[in-house]
Amino acid sequence: MIDLHTHTIFSDGVLVPAELARRAQALNYKALAFTDHVDFSNLDFVLPRLISLCRAIADEMAMVLLPGVELTHIPPALIGDGVKKARDLGAKIVVVHGETLVEPVAPGTNRAAIAAGCDILAHPGLITAEEAEMAAQNRVYLEITTRPGHALANGHVAKIAAPAGAELMLNNDAHTPGDLMSLQMAEKIALGAGISSEGWQQMRRNSQKLVESKVG
């Protein structure tokens, strides 16, 4: 299992990063990204600490650890600046909090995130066909999520992504230990969203490909 969207005590998660990593390791995860919620007020505080932690424990872990961020509720016009600043500060994975059905995310967030070239558009809600086509062109992964609430639109995301050629990726959006899904349960959630068995395997390859592109 690979999870490239997680949260620690540096935002609204309940575990310090090292414990989250250890719990994932105990469940045989192969890679984990710390992507705490940030905006312009805390980006330069949170990210260096995640980078420092990944460097400190990487050699002791039998898994890949990647420091990242989830840009959250930033006005769409400023998302491009946020993505650039995160990358300049050393973020390996840049997630943008998409237009989930269960939060009042500003309209236009999905489009701005895709245009900015983030790595993953998290829980994109009722994403449009045009936005999915943009995601395919900009190589932005659309998230299928195991997180309750955000997962309400998984079926729609999968349906829209397929004809557009947009690539999907499954993440847990983990905030607590119980959010770390097994590979078997993750597969069931993907299948429940209408994704085929081959589509599920492609999602796993997508996660591995993104990890490999960020290591080093």
Render pLDDT for 20-70 as a digit per residue (tens, 0 to 9). 999 999 999 999 999 999 999 999 999 999 999 999 998 899 899 999 999
Tokens standing for residue 193: 């969203």
Q: Which amino acid is at 81?
A: D
Q: Which domain holds residue 171?
A: 2-214
**Rounded-to-integer distance, Cα 157 and Cα 145, Å:** 10
Angle between helix 43-57 and 17-26 (nearest 10): 50
Residue 106 DSSP code? P
We report the CATH number of the domain holding residue 131 as 3.20.20.140
pTM for this prediction: 0.98
pLDDT tens digits for range 107-136? 999 999 999 999 999 999 999 999 999 999
- Say if CB 109 and CB 96 are below 8 A apart: yes
How many structural domains does the chain have?
1
